[in-house]
């Protein structure tokens, strides 16, 4: 190999089809549905383990109330993110049921609406 061929190999992308790939809705929705489901499952597991570890005795400690007071912004943000993930997960589940039980009429309506807005 001469120097010119080595430079061409370095500049060549590993996957030439990826820069021109346009992600479709049918591949993006299931991935984000799984991510939101994993996030919600992690929250449920974490809260369950926290309740098992701490129990009801935590309400008698002053440090627990200080922690809640000083981390109130963090708790508010985490509740909002969880509510957003829950609403997306629920919406996508209903949309999935509609596409399954409507004979894909719902998908054809989405395709028609997409063509109309182009």
Is 17 annotated as a binding-site member? no
CA dihedral 16, 19, 20, 23 (to 10 degrees): 120
Task: Please write down the HEC assignment for all residues of the chain.
Answer: CCHHHHHHHHHCCCCCCCCCCCCCHHHHHHHHHHHHHHHHHHHHHHHHHHHHHHHHHHHHCHHHHHHHHHCHHHHHHHHHHHHHHHHHHHHHHHHHHHHHHCCCHHHHHHHHHHHHHC
In the block, which residue shows the tokens 């030439």? 16
- Specify binding-site residues for heme: 89
**Binding-site annotation, residues:** 89
């Amino acid at each position: 190999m001469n120097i010119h061929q080595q430079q061409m190999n370095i500049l060549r992308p590993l996957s030439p089809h990826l820069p021109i790939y346009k992600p479709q809705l049918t591949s993006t929705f299931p991935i984000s549905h799984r991510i939101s489901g994993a996030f919600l499952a992690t929250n449920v597991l974490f809260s369950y383990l926290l309740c098992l570890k701490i129990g009801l005795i935590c309400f008698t400690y002053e440090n627990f109330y200080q922690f809640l007071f000083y981390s109130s912004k963090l708790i508010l943000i985490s509740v909002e993110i969880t509510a957003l993930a829950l609403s997306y997960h629920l919406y996508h589940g209903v949309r999935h049921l509609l596409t399954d039980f409507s004979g894909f009429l719902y998908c054809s309506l989405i395709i028609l609406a997409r063509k109309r807005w182009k």
